[in-house]
Structure 1
Amino acid sequence: MSNSPFPHQADTVTLGAAVRRARQRLGLSVEGLAEQSGVSTGQISQVERGLANPSLKTMDKVATALGTTVASLLSRTSPEGVTVVRSDQRTDLPLPDQLEGYRRELLTPPGLAALQVIRTVLPEGYTNQDSPYRHLGYESVTVLQGRLQVVVGTTSVVVEAGDTINYECSTAHYWANAHPGETIVQGCVIPVQP
């Protein structure tokens, strides 16, 4: 008899998919999540594939390393297909070595795989030029305040407040705050699973 709070196969598969999406959203490898959570790589791999029946203590360690809660990982849309993510209930998407003032928040439910809406606050001087992103999917980013330089491959574009830039994510890309103050953007990502 297991002491797991996730006794049904469907629950463990749903939980595993949510853990994988949250880990990938943060750009973490299975090994990176294992290191940050203190849970073995083998156990994280089994959780993500829905093969493990993890304890609440294990899932709390994993959720904490992902910057969320077990409840958020388990949340699903309501039967009517309507969810509200309140401003004080957003999932933080922290980055390692992020600048003070940098903040990324998921505006869609953590378990929603088809679309991710993310609000990002970039402090003055921010750039991730030294560690650009590259992943499968498509992004659409609107500058709400300030000015954003977006570099996709060899193409560099400055996006002003009110403008939107759209691009494939499979090419290495990075952002830089091109404003003498805070820049706030809202991006929509349609992730593609390999």
Structure 2
Amino acid sequence: MKPDPPLIKDRTFMNLSQKNMYFDEVFNYIVHFMKMDPQANYRLMVGTDSQVHKFHTLFVTGIVIKREGKGAWACILPIKFKRKYLNLHEKISMETTLTEQVASLFDEKRKTQLIDIILPHLYRGSSFSMEGHIDIGLERRSLTRFLANEMMARIESVGLEPVVKPESFVASGYANRYTKRSKKLI
């Protein structure tokens, strides 16, 4: 049986200053951003949030490269499904799937290219990490806490460090902001 094609195939990313960026362009922006200060500490973060609207569900995946204490560059990938995701497990699972698929675009060759930027400066304290931000909480009152182990294991399996609320700001803050703007994105 042939596997389903990725949900993100041939989709374009955007941010406040650019629309219709293919992943190669996104990656080039990240490389340029890191080369501006190769001695810094970098966190590459990917996370997805969603919002159920009247006739569809909008999923938005964010990519953020953060230079600790010195700014960030970010973009989003909006994807609209023409149905309402009302089951919490299904919705969080799809958010995690989209995060996994976008993170997989950073293949070994690309990861090596990013690490090579900071590598000569490791002894001066530079660093690079990759995180998968999940829109779930671990608190007792959180409706999503029972999904935490499953989703965190999935994020770890694709080579990312899982991050949950309240620290998962790429999913619960950045991407979340754009899920409300359905008409402007799609």
Structure with greater helix percent: 2
Structure having greater relative contact order (Cα 8 Å, sep ≥ 6): 2
TM-score (norm 2): 0.27
TM-score (norm 1): 0.26
Which one has the largest radius of gyration? 1
